[in-house]
Amino acid sequence: MCDNLPVLLRQPSSSTRDDATFHRTVFGALTITALCDGHFPLCAHDVLRSGDTPLGDLLEDAHLDAVVPSHVNAFLVDDGTHRTLIDTGAGHLQDATLGRMTLQLMAAGYDPHDIDIVLLTHLHPDHMGGLTHHGEAVFSRATVHVPRDESEFWLDNGEPADVDGSVRATFEHARRTLAPYLREGRYRPFEPGTTWLGYISAEPLPGHTCGHTGYRVRTDAGDIVFCGDLFHVAAVQLVTPGVTVCYDSDPMRAHATRKAFLNAMARRGDIVGAAHAPFPGLGRIRNDGAGYAWEPCVE
Ligand SMILES: [Zn+2]
């Protein structure tokens, strides 16, 4: 467990991981609410790529079966005046067990109208799908911010001929999901290094997608880095950072980015918010000698 835990306000309804809804933590002047969009079965042999290392051995070492129960997490940052949502869950774009982010947001006492800023780590369905419902913008006031490389890849350049079939539909999903925000002038591609509200900054984490980006949030109680899909199965990819996923657009780059990120986080001790770590997805990275380990801050 993490040292120096911030003040924790936990909802009595979020008693187990399976029925977890939202999880509110106070970090200095900021309130961070983890929002569980839902869960899905990750078929390890279909998704993970372990190179020469037998995946079965890695799963066994991690005490995991071939189907890994996985969460999708989004995060709300509230400074009392501005509310920033980092990723939005899957909406209706993926499994029926996903798409609950807006419900959790409302259960936590917010209205979608309250959201000022949406920051997306990348434009895969389980991160952007919650933006739109039946073609209408879910967030009626928010501006949606997307790394420029990511935006250009999915929206501007057409579909590359060699794209993996598993992500082909994402081009159409991106166009449809972002359309209301584009139409209403609330869509903002941004450059690396962009900052928001004086305490949030973008940090490129390329490889999973070309514009995959993390967001560093500075708080009085230390930094939190929301790292999107830097890893999908912590118990495997932190121990062996070279394990990639079939959705990585550039697996070698994803590996290099993951190694550097894990090294930096373990050294700095920043809290990490991860989209697919077990809900609520907040933890620290510990250097284990041969690899790294995930230490949940709150469970
Ligand atoms: Zn994802």
pLDDT in single tens digits along all 299 residues of the chain:
233 333 333 333 343 444 558 999 999 999 999 999 999 999 999 999 999 999 999 999 999 999 999 999 999 999 999 999 999 999 999 888 999 999 999 999 999 999 999 999 999 999 999 999 999 999 999 999 999 999 999 998 777 777 766 677 899 899 999 999 999 999 999 998 899 999 999 999 999 999 999 999 999 999 999 999 999 999 999 999 999 999 999 999 999 999 999 999 999 999 999 999 999 999 999 998 889 999 998 75
Measured in angstroms, how far is the CA atom of residue 41 from the centroid of ligand 1? 13
> 8-9 and 244-245: which strand pairing?
unpaired
Residues in Cβ contact with 30 at an 8 Å cutoff, skipping those fewer than 6 apart: 77, 78, 79, 199, 217, 219
Measured in angstroms, how far is the CA atom of residue 73 from the centroid of ligand 1? 9
d(CA 218, CA 15): 29
pLDDT (0 to 100) of residue 54: 96
Measured in angstroms, how far is the CA atom of residue 128 from the centroid of ligand 1? 10
Measured in angstroms, how far is the CA atom of residue 275 from the centroid of ligand 1? 6
Burial of 201 (0-12, 13-18, 19+ CB in 10 A): middle
pLDDT (0 to 100) of residue 274: 98
Measured in angstroms, how far is the CA atom of residue 281 from the centroid of ligand 1? 13
d(CA 83, CA 105): 11
- pTM for this entry: 0.92
List domains and CATH numbers for the chain: 8-296 (3.60.15.10)
Measured in angstroms, how far is the CA atom of residue 231 from the centroid of ligand 1? 9
